[in-house]
Chain A
Amino acid sequence: MTKLIPAPWWSAFLLCFWLLLQNDVSVGTSLLGLILAILIPLYTLRARDYPTTLHRPLLAVQYFLILLVDIVVSNLDIALIILMPRKRIQPALIEFPLDLTGSVPITILASTISLTPGTISAELGRDGRSLLIHALNVQDPEATVQQIKQRYERRLKEIFQC
């Protein structure tokens, strides 16, 4: 089983992707999708030099839903700042100490930061232990860091167990 399907989540993702691309669920498309979902990971597995395991798939779904809500909130937030005539904003460059290790979790965290309210990840520190964040409008930078830690980093830590 592990030999045939070395990366089950990846295969599941590829199958869903294929069905979305076809925009049609029938025996034929599902079968072809299933074959592709098994063959592609087998062929490309050698190129994956970052072993990552999804330990808590349900938590990952929850994380994704939280992210969706936050993206909508951040959109409204930024729209408000843009539309407010001459509203003074207080930007800041903040250093965010990382507790996560591993390239995949850090990439996900950095993308999350860029998609959520008022922050963009700008650079990963040379030692890989901190992220530089640009925040558009913060009064209390420490609170922003704590919020990201509580809301996203803690969950990612649990999902990937690192």
Chain B
Amino acid sequence: MTDLPQWADLLISFFIVLGASFAFIGSLGLLRLPDFMARLHAPTKNTTLGVGGVVMGSMLYFSVTDAFSLHELLIAIFLFLTAPISAHLLAKAGLHLELELNENTKDLRKKPEQYTDKDS
């Protein structure tokens, strides 16, 4: 563990705490939101900033103490590529299993038959 200049110390702590809080809020969302589809929103969105914050912290730490370091960016790139796809698949599964939605949900499908797997 090398000594960091104070500004770096503060900045890195800020990013790590930011990332950790967003990851926590995302997990909390899984618990608090009312139905399956709503629950999907929390992990897909908040983990991107959660991981993003930690990645920023790591990039700064290694750039300051060691050599200039950017390969943490790959984690962010892969996350951007995969998070929407897993969300899409989960949403699709939920839709086709016709899971119960929150009673507030407005269903604005004009042609529901377009999105089911039942042959009409």
B-contacting residues of A (Cβ < 8 Å)? 17, 20-24, 71-72, 74-75, 78-79, 81-83, 88-95, 110-115, 118, 120-123, 125-127, 130, 132, 134, 136, 141
Contacts and interface: CB of A to CB of B under 8 A. Distances in A.
A93 B109 contact: yes
A52 to B, nearest CB: 16
Contacts, number: 134
Interface residues of B, number: 47
B102 interface: yes
B6 to A, nearest CB: 26
Interface string B12-45: 0000000000100100110011110110111011
B48 A123 contact: no
Contact of B95 (A75, A79, A122): A122
Interface of B: 22, 25, 28-29, 32-35, 37-38, 40-42, 44-46, 48-49, 67, 69-71, 73-74, 80-81, 83-85, 87-88, 91-92, 94-95, 101-102, 104-111, 114-115
B79 to A, nearest CB: 10
Best-buried of A89, A91, A110, A111 by chain B (most CB within 10 Å) = A91
